Amino acid sequence: MFSIFSRKRRYNDLSWIKVDVHSHLLPGLDDGSSSPEESLLMMDTLFRLGIDQFYATPHIFNRLYPNDHSSIEAAFRELQSGLKGRNLRMAYAAEYMVDADFEDLLSPTGKPLVCLPGRHVLIEMSYLEESLRIEHIISRLIELRYKPILAHPERYVFYHQEPQRLKKFKDLGCLLQLNILSLYGYYGGREQKVSEYLLKNGMIDLVGTDARQLRHVSALAHYVKKEDLSGHFKHSPLQNETLFSIA
């Protein structure tokens, strides 16, 4: 397992993340980047912060963003041409909203999911209300030999008063992915406190930027210069590079 303490590093950048496993860098698919130019500018900024490997994970949420493998691959191919001459590596997966439509995909007639390597599947819920049958759906994913990753658990307001409830996902075999901006307090104090709780209790496996617009990467650049986060991860060694390094 990769540890950010395995060798000496400077912590005035984000090079310790190695691989950004959650971003919305593909243009025109969701509430993320609106153009290839914006995508490349965001990636260039993140590269200067020390990240050179990216997974684009656009939303698949039929009511708002009815993406599928074909639409995601097309946007990825369009952006790839702009990566020539840049020392960046990129691949794609998806971020699935856990709802009735997603559960239908897990039926015998459902299409294969758009996964991260190793059949890892990034899932999310509404920030305001826990998805119905979430535990059943995670168990179903594992039964189908997928490996679920719950995105940004620190942002779900229904766990803020009792963050220990998130342990049920770990007990089910689900990985947890923290948004790095949450730890900086970008989304608010409660998200920051839950982030610290999860890290202190060894519950976080992965970190992502969840970058959608230039304001997110600009905020990261601002925070990184001011604060060293290395001490937060001693109980939660990251698996970003171990699981998802892009060849």
* 126-161 confidence digits (pLDDT tens): 999 999 999 999 999 999 999 999 999 999 999 999
Q: At what angle do helices 36-48 and 69-80 cross, to 10 degrees?
A: 70
Higher pLDDT, 77 or 8: 77
| Residues above pLDDT 70, as percent of the chain | 96
pLDDT at 56: 99
| Residues above pLDDT 90, as percent of the chain | 91
pLDDT at 6: 47
The residue segments making up the domain with residue 144 are 15-244
In a domain, 9, yes or no: no
Is the confidence at residue 216, as pLDDT, over 70?
yes
In a domain, 183, yes or no: yes
CATH of the domain at 130: 3.20.20.140
pLDDT at 23: 99
pLDDT at 227: 87
In a domain, 57, yes or no: yes
Among 164, 153, 156, 241, CA closest to 204: 153
Calculate mean pLDDT across residues 61-77. Answer: 98
Tally of domains within the chain: 1
Calculate mean pLDDT across residues 224-243. Answer: 90
pLDDT at 12: 80
* 165-191 confidence digits (pLDDT tens): 999 999 999 999 999 999 999 999 999
Q: Find the DSSP H helices in 61-112.
A: 69-80, 100-105
pLDDT at 211: 98
Q: What pLDDT band is residue 228 in, cutting at 50, 70 and 90?
A: confident
What is the 8-class DSSP label of residue 3?
-
Structure tokens at 245: 């390094």
CA distance 234 to 24: 28
Q: What mean pLDDT value characterizes the chain?
A: 95
In a domain, 1, yes or no: no
The 3-class SS string of 183-204 reads HCCCCCHHHHHHHHHHHHCCCC
Q: What pLDDT band is residue 119 in, cutting at 50, 70 and 90?
A: very high
Calculate mean pLDDT across residues 67-86. Answer: 96
In a domain, 10, yes or no: no
pLDDT at 231: 76
pLDDT at 209: 98
In a domain, 3, yes or no: no
CA distance 228 to 189: 18
Phi, psi angles (nearest 5°) of residue 208 = -140, 165
Is the confidence at residue 7, as pLDDT, over 50?
no
In a domain, 6, yes or no: no
In a domain, 2, yes or no: no
- Predicted TM-score of the model (pTM): 0.94
